[in-house]
Structure 1
Amino acid sequence: MKIILSLVVAVSTVTGFAQKSNTQKPNIILLFADDISARELPIYKSDVWSPPSGGNTTDLQYRASTPVLDKMANEGCYISSAWAAVVCSPSRAMMMTGRYAHLHKWWDNKHIGKFTNEKGKLTTYNLYSSSANTIGTIAKKGGYASMWAGKTQMRNAEIEKFDFDEGVFTPGESTSLNTENPFTDFELAEQKNDGKKTLINRNNGQAVSSYAQSSWYWRPHVMLMNQPKTKEKFQWWPNTAESKKQYGNSTYGPDVELDFILDFMERKTKENRPFFVYHTSHLGHDAMDFLNPSEKNKWPGTPIVKWDGTKYNRTQPNVTGEKGVYDTHGTVTGPGIHNHVNYLDYQVSLYLKKMKELKIENNTIFIFCADNGTSGYGKNSPDVQKGCHVPFIVYAPGMKMTKKGKQEVLVNISDVLPTIAEITGVTLPKDYEINGESLVPFLTTNKKTHRDWLYAYSGPMQLIRGNTVLKDGRNKWYDVSKNPTDLISFPQITDWSKATAEQRQEKAKLEAILPRFNKFAEAPNGPLSAKDQLKIDEMEKNNATKKGPKKGNKKNKEDGGEE
């Protein structure tokens, strides 16, 4: 589905997003949460959600509470059927480029295409090489100040080449700063003993069964990029006498990210410059619970926050101890993704508070969504829409939005980039393929629908759905003309003679679309030199003679966990 953005008109008159009393381009905040299915947000009214151990539950104590996001969804709008890819890397590639894997070659976490770079080296096909127009580049072309905060997961690419002005990254791995973090040993690292690799918790020296990771929650690894008042492009945080004094066991990574974001928003507002925040929070992702290393908690606890009916009250964390033995003194929640979603809601309240304080709430667009389904339920699943059905909320108070509340339309994560392009007034080249469609016409006019079909992928598997039928990655077809109460139990269609004429017609239409994107077997990589093509061919030939990989959840450092 190729679209061309050809409108070069003032944003205030074309998009309908500019504040009536202010012709400055609107600020944009994109909060991209991690591993959170739509069903985890109460606004989607699922009667099933995820318990702390993963899986399914109807126990209300494990249902998240999101009064702020609920209000935003009702006063703004939220999408009933929004799709991402089924797992992290390809979904983030889709978000960053507005394109599908036939172009950027990030098929799934285990199948990321290769290419021969400008130095003649065979390496991962990074997104700024496959796609000249990433969202950071779009913001820059539109005259926006930009910040990227949180998770990167860009496969060892040079982060600075994504064109963001500033960054605060957790965890702080980067090819640009290959030094060990001097501030924290909350890390699981591989060690070799007698030729065997063992994963060790560096904090207490114990062997663990998990995946290699640096902490992004408690006592986090934090790297700064291009922060003011410093000449260093990259540096570890804490980086000042005051921050070093405050840093410790009670330091919570998501708080650090947001502190830097809110400071960035304030500085750019004072400079009278529109800003774009790309907040790729880790909240929602499972992780090692360094405060309770023997408990095997799937989702570590967060600082305690309580909603009093009008605002959140947060308990200041007080974590004491060392070497794997810690006391939280009742200031940290128990484990569970519901607590992560609750904390996201609290953070969104801080965004709104800051917007009001800066008097920019009527000229700021806020988008909340997630990269794939919940771990232990949908993440990496090609079944029905378990892996790809995510929440999607658009909130723009004071703007000329014509849509409010629940919208029974189809939206894809790839739609975000062309939406941002239109809002920022950036026109993409006519010969540059974009697979997303701008949401601006739907959100600001009387247009009743957005797009006719959704697409997702996982390696060679393709998923596609329209308004009445869905094909999952296992080539099973479902009737999606009505939404089940758990958002997933659609009736399977096995006898097409009993399907409606509309469903048969839509099935034929969707099947005709798939070949265009089905390039996994014939074109899995980017441009290769003749030498590297021979190398790839030889590797594939050798792999074909070996036994295939075992099924199951292989641990992957790039994903930060299960695939």
Structure 2
Amino acid sequence: MLYRSALSVVAQLSVVAQLSVVAQLSVVAQLSVVGLLAMCFSSFVMADRPNVIVIMSDDQGGGDYGFLGNEVIRTPQLDQMRTQSTLLSHFYVSPVCAPTRASLMTGRYNYRTRCIDTYVGRAMMDPQEVTVAECLRDAGYRTGIYGKWHLGDNYPLRPMDQGFEESLIHRGGGIGQPSDPIGAEGKYTDPTLFLNGVETPMKGYCTDLYFDHAMKFIGQAVKEKQSFFTYLATNAPHGPFHDVPEDLYQEYLKVDFKPILINKRLNPQRLKAESDKLARIAAMITNIDQNVGRLLNHLEQLGVKDNTIVMYLNDNGPNSMRYVGNMRGMKTHVDDGGVRSPLVFHWPKQVPAGGELKPLCAHIDLMPTILDACQVPLPEGIKIDGRSFLPLLAERKTTWPTRQVVLQAHRGNEPQAFHNFALHEGRWKLVHPSGFGKERFTGAAKLELYDLGTDPQQRHDLASQRPEVFQRLKGAYQAWFDDVSSSRPDNYAPPRIVIGTDHEPVSVLTRQDWRHQSGRPWGADSNGFWLLESPAPATYDVEVIFHTEPKQGRAQITAGETQLEMQIDAGKKRGQSVRMKLPAGKFKLQVDVQFDNKVQGPHQVILTKVNG
């Protein structure tokens, strides 16, 4: 009781601190005796709250764990962690990266957040969303992110704008994409990362660097007796696969991967190529596993392991057709192999070791569970879709009311009802596996119904045999889609990048966040534009950057109603810029580059505000 009262007072004091001196005195005078006593114990309460670490790998897949029966890919540290933890074995995520991350951060379905795809401006989360990092930061936690954010690369969308006090990240959806810093493309080893927004060359392998910096952050927080929230989101084992831990790769080259291949009838040449790819993926996974062991040892040495929550999950299904236990599917699929992840929940002080929980849980539940464990209330007026599963972990016999969880993702600017979705309710799964790659499906939706309790591999469609269940779940899905699609006015409009502020005086615009217009989205022949917003008109140096050495040409820059032309010199990838006044308010920035009567877009554009 005193613990909750103290937290209430701490929350009140954070409000008091924002008021005038007279207002502060008025509010303090109204605090209860219990509240004042609780303030005396506030430092004790802060120290007693659990620390929280969320580790999420990228494209690992729900079967890439020794403790789930994978006999090829080695995960000894995670296997040991599982024996010391409780496993949520029916935990669901989205079929692709950014939607899972938006739901994890907000406790809300990603369709409520404007984050609906993985690139071309649709992996940007609305900055008005309230994140778990913001809630914990405001409650006195130190907050840090290390690795993959994938919810926006510019102000006000970056993790440092969304509650993280320290951030070491790459841009975009992964290293090796058009959002890479110029001159450091595709470097997993010795990458150029962004440390608190600053482009920073580093030495070492990317996963090792994330864990190194996270452990340093944790050590500093412990030294200063502060609770911490650490989000470790590796970009491994996401492709490209050219740069992996060499020692582990050489070990895995000697391994027979046929036991975990779904297609076992590959010709020798194809088998060799697939085995090489899997050796690279396995090397990245085992490297993550080694770092998890380092992290847990670090917590023990610091004396905080007992009261630190450590959660491990993957963000979607595996990035190849490989072992997923008794399921089917892979990344982008809405079959269980594409949307189910183990969640290992480690909290020695409160959660028994070795248990398994089977109730339906999902990524939308992480935020409310974390806040529940830390006894941090949701801000007033915030609507979330998830529910805390902490009572399941702590009490084991707590009833878990029947619920429905919907997972949907596909390409495009606006979701289509019934396209590439799955609705889960207990043992029932209603699914339309229409494919991730296109914005729309054509023809009638062929919905399928499965009883996962008896048919986890989804082999027997029961839609015609159980019409009452089929129709009920179909109606429930339509109600869900209508609800998430009306979360805010113009619900699926993409967020805008804000330029010209002290938060980000230099804005690097990349193809990750442009609105694709023509050609292949990231191809050399493609073109697009950026949706921007500026608080006031200002003058900028506009640098136009190319991925390869350009020919002689011309570029037309359009910013709202303003246009300007510049010459493009042959052979210069960088250093070609022009000074231009950009308008206030919302506008579209487009750069049309003409080479030999063909028009394309630039690789990147850098806007540097000119002072004075």
Tell me which interval the TM-score lies in, with the shorter structure as reference length.
0.5 to 0.7
Q: CA deviation at 1:449?
A: 3.0
**CA deviation after TM superposition for structure 1 residue 451, in Å:** 5.7
Q: Distance in 2 between matches of 1:450 and 1:237?
A: 50
- 1:253 Cα deviation (Å)? 1.2
Q: Is the 8 A contact 1:301 1:335 kept in 2?
A: no
Counterpart position of 2:462: 493
Given that 1:453 and 1:465 are in contact with CA atoms closer than 8 Å, whether structure 2 keeps it comes out as yes
> Residue in 1 aligned with 2:106?
97
Q: Residues 11, 390 of structure 1: CA spacing in aligned structure 2 closer, same or farther, 3 A cutoff?
A: farther
Q: Is the 8 A contact 1:480 1:490 kept in 2?
A: no
> Which letter does structure 1 place at the counterpart of 2:68?
Y
Return closer, same or farther for 1:64/1:105 CA change in 2, 3 Å cut-off: same
2:586 corresponds to: none
Correspondence 1:88 to 2:56:
no
Distance 2:278 2:448 in 1: 39
Q: Secondary structure at the match of 1:43?
A: helix
Within 1, Cα distance between the matches of 2:115 and 2:527?
15
Q: Distance in 2 between matches of 1:408 and 1:151?
A: 29
Q: Label 1:403 to 1:260 Cα distance change in 2 as closer, same or farther (>3 A).
A: closer
CA distance in 2, matches of 1:440, 1:94: 18
Q: 1:276 to 1:288 in 2, by over 3 A?
A: same
Q: Is 1:525 aligned with 2:525?
A: no
Query: What does residue 236 of structure 1 align with?
Result: 200
Q: In the superposition, relative to structure 1, how do residues 278 and 21 fare at CA in structure 2: closer, same or farther (>3 Å)?
A: closer
TM-superposed deviation, 1:306: 12
What displacement does 1:97 show? 1.4
Q: Identity of counterpart residues, as a percentage?
A: 19
1:418 matched to 2:363? The reply is no
Q: Is the 8 A contact 2:485 2:492 kept in 1?
A: no
Q: 1:516 aligns with which of 465, 483, 493?
A: 483
Deviates more, 1:354-363 or 1:421-430: 421-430
1:389 and 2:340 aligned = yes
CA offsets, 1:53-80, max 9 Å, x none? xxxxxxx5xx212222223223311122
Specify whether residues 526 and 454 from structure 1 end up closer, same or farther in structure 2 by C-alpha distance, changes over 3 A only.
same
Query: Partner residue of 1:214?
Result: 186
* TM-superposed deviation, 1:45: 3.4
Aligned ranges for residues 80-479 of structure 1 at < 5 Å? 80-109=89-118, 126-129=125-128, 131=129, 133-158=130-155, 159=158, 160-170=160-170, 213-215=185-187, 217-225=188-196, 234-238=198-202, 247=203, 251-290=204-243, 300-301=244-245, 303-304=247-248, 335-377=279-321, 378=329, 380-399=331-350, 401=351, 404-445=354-395, 446-449=397-400, 452-458=403-409, 459-460=415-416, 461=419, 462-474=421-433, 476-479=447-450
Cα distance in 2 for residues equivalent to 1:218 and 1:112: 27
Q: Is the 8 A contact 2:88 2:358 kept in 1?
A: yes
SS at match of 1:68: helix
2:52 — aligned with what?
A: 28
Q: What is the aligned partner in structure 2 of residue 16 from structure 1?
A: none
C-alpha distance in 2, partners of 1:494/1:353? 50
Q: TM-score, normalised by structure 1?
A: 0.63
Against the structure 1 CA distance between its residues 11 and 33, is the aligned structure 2 distance closer, same or farther, given a 3 Å change threshold?
Answer: farther
Offset, 1:367: 0.6
- Pick closer, same or farther for the CA change 1:384–1:27 going to 2, 3 Å: same
Tell me the amino acid that sits aligned with residue 479 of structure 1.
Y
Deviations 1:200-233 (A, max 9, x none): x978xxxxxxxxx532x222222222xxxxxxx6
Q: Deviations over 1:434-467 (max 9, x none)?
A: 0111122221123143762222111333321111
| Distance change (3 Å), C-alpha of 1:508 and 1:75 | farther
Bigger Rg, which one: 2
Superimposed CA distance per residue, residues 12-60 of structure 1 (whole angstroms, 9 cap, x where no aligned partner): 9xxxxxxx999611110000110122122232337xxxxxxxxxxxxx5
Match of 2:261 in 1: none
Shift of residue 146, structure 1, vs aligned partner: 1.2
Counterpart AA for 1:463: A
CA apart distance, 1:283: 1.7
The whole-number CA distance in structure 1 between the counterparts of 2:6 and 2:247 is 44
TM-score, structure 2 normalization: 0.59
SS at match of 1:78: strand
Distance in 1 of aligned mates of 2:250 and 2:79: 16
Q: Deviations over 1:361-380 (max 9, x none)?
A: 11100011121111134555
Q: Judge conservation of contact 1:173–1:223 (CA < 8 Å) in 2.
A: no
Counterparts in 2 of 1:556 and 1:96: CA distance versus 1, 3 Å: farther
Counterpart residue identity of residue 140, structure 1: R
In the alignment, is the contact (CA less than 8 A) between 1:411 and 1:450 conserved in 2? no
Whole-Å separation in 1 of the counterparts to 2:183 and 2:392: 51
Equivalenced residue count is 412
SS in 1 for 2:309: strand
1:344 to partner: Cα distance? 1.8
| Aligned 8 A contact 2:86 2:352 in 1 | no
> Aligned AA for 2:198?
F
What amino acid is aligned across from residue 35 of structure 1 in structure 2?
D
Measure how far apart 1:503 and its partner are. Answer: 7.6
1:526: Cα distance to partner? Answer: 6.3
Quick one: distance in 2 between partners of 1:21 and 1:136? 19
- Note if contact 2:126-2:495 (Cα within 8 Å) is conserved in structure 1: no
Residue aligned with 1:153, SS: coil
What is aligned with 2:88? 79
Distance of aligned partners of 1:234 and 1:93 in 2 relative to their CA distance in 1, 3 Å threshold: same
In structure 1, the gaps of 5 or more residues are 1-6, 13-19, 47-59, 114-123, 175-185, 191-198, 204-212, 226-232, 239-246, 291-299, 308-331, 529-542, 558-563
User: For 1:202 and 1:106, how far apart are their aligned partners in 2?
Assistant: 29
Q: Which letter maps to 1:468?
A: R
1:34 and 1:285 in contact (8 A); partners too: yes
- After superposition, the Cα gap between the structure-2 partners of 1:189 and 1:457, relative to the gap in structure 1 and judged at 3 Å, is closer
Aligned-partner residue type, residue 310 of structure 2: F
Distance 1:149 1:236, change over 3 A: same
How far does residue 333 in structure 1 lie from its aligned partner after superposition? Answer: 11
Amino acid at match of 1:128: P
By how many angstroms is 1:415 displaced? Answer: 0.8
Residue 477 of structure 1: how far off its partner (Å): 2.3
Q: Which amino acid aligns with 2:200?
A: W
What is the aligned partner in structure 1 of residue 61 from structure 2?
37
Q: What's the CA shift for 1:547?
A: 11
Whether the aligned pair in 1 keeps the contact of 2:121 and 2:494 (CA below 8 Å) is: no
Q: CA RMSD in A?
A: 4.2
